[in-house]
Amino acid sequence: MLIWVDGNDPEWQKEKNKYDESNDKGDSTIIRYRSWDNLQYWFRGVEKFAPWVNKIHFVTWGHLPPWLNVNHPKLHIVNHKDYIPEEFLPTFNANTIEMNLHRIKGLAEQFVYFNDDMFITDHVKPEDFFKNGVPCDVFALNCIYFGKKSAGFFNGNDLELINIHFDKKECFKKNFMKWYHPINGWKSLVRTTMLMIWPWFPGFYYSHLPSNFLKSTYKEVWGLEEETLRATCMDKFRTKSNVNQWLIKFWQLASGNFIPRSMKIGRCFHIKERNYDLAVDSVREGRYKLICINDTIYTEDFEKKKREVQEAFQKLLPEKSGFEL
């Protein structure tokens, strides 16, 4: 599954601006919507490196890239109004879009969720995402970072609910072998050990890569916390009081409904000057199975960087996919 927005669409901008005028608390900064114009490489990566994928649910406000082959048999185009309850629409809040994904018609119980800045850049297998119907994930306790324009507030709100519904000590006893499985990596084991002294969950490690979800987890969380989730979905833009899709991931980790997986499967690059060259080289050479090229408020000379990232993807994936006209 992939969600995408075309921030250059004048009709979308017109509708967004109607609500921006009265927006005094939400995040509508340009980095939430500007395009890197590299979506075609997402489809090329899936076709080349994950040909076993059965269905792609492509979630959009209503706009579509002009090059997209809408008749591809694996493609299911999903408009926000097709699955998000009408009372929450229109929305420019990614948290609303993500927290209602389980409502998409035809969605499988096990699904992999991609933001449009996450790509497959080397061969992957179904077992990289699910084993025996159980989602694969890295486990590590972690601290929450509350930085400028960070997701720390969402993370904190998510953890509030986790600590209401789960007892850390009981979860640890039940899932000791998963928490301390060597495949999590030594850094994860150190993080977990250092944070075991506190009786509550201080946070979880999150790699900002595609998420492996169970639709039933979404339904469980909505059933228990509908009031909180509805409050998030009523906000037209991302707001500090929101929860987000990490809540679903954290719920799976806290409950032990996951299979430990190595973090070496992929890497997220938050585009800043210090790591930019490494990010471009990693794309060009396909160093990871999964990669995220994450726009940030610190991304300088955007047009130049966008062009160079496009060139790196073109080097890795030069041939059109069947999803392109």
Instruction: Tell me what pLDDT residue 17 has.
Output: 87
Cβ atoms of 275 and 285 closer than 8 Å: no
DSSP string, 247-260: HHHHHHHHHT-SEE
Mean pLDDT per block of 10 residues along the chain (325 residues) reads 90 88 54 77 98 97 95 98 97 96 98 96 98 97 83 92 98 98 96 96 93 98 98 94 96 98 93 80 96 80 86 97 98
Identity (one letter) of the amino acid at 65?
Answer: P
Instruction: Tell me what pLDDT residue 181 has.
Output: 98
Give me the count of residues in the chain.
Answer: 325
Taking the C-alpha atoms of residue 293 and residue 118, their distance in angstroms, rounded to an integer, is: 7
Interhelix angle for 152-165 vs 246-255, to 10°? 30
Q: Coil, helix or strand for 300?
A: coil
**Number of Cβ within a 10 Å radius of residue 286:** 18
Helix-strand-coil split of the chain, %, nearest 5: 40, 15, 45
Global pTM?
A: 0.93
Instruction: Tell me what pLDDT residue 8 has.
Output: 84
Taking the C-alpha atoms of residue 153 and residue 240, their distance in angstroms, rounded to an integer, is: 5
Instruction: Tell me what pLDDT residue 114 has.
Output: 97
Q: Torsions phi, psi of 136, nearest 5?
A: -95, 140
DSSP H helices, 76-205, are: 80-83, 94-99, 152-165, 168-174, 176-179, 186-194
Taking the C-alpha atoms of residue 37 and residue 218, their distance in angstroms, rounded to an integer, is: 31
Which DSSP helix (H) or strand (E) runs through 266? strand 266-270
Distances from the Cα of 225 to the Cα of 154, 211, 220, angstroms: 15, 21, 9
Taking the C-alpha atoms of residue 172 and residue 166, their distance in angstroms, rounded to an integer, is: 10
User: What residue spans define the domains of the chain?
Assistant: 2-316
Cβ atoms of 95 and 242 closer than 8 Å: yes
Instruction: Tell me what pLDDT residue 100 has.
Output: 98
DSSP 21: T
Look at residues 32, 38, 97 and name the one whose alpha carbon lies nearest to residue 65: 38
Instruction: Tell me what pLDDT residue 115 has.
Output: 93
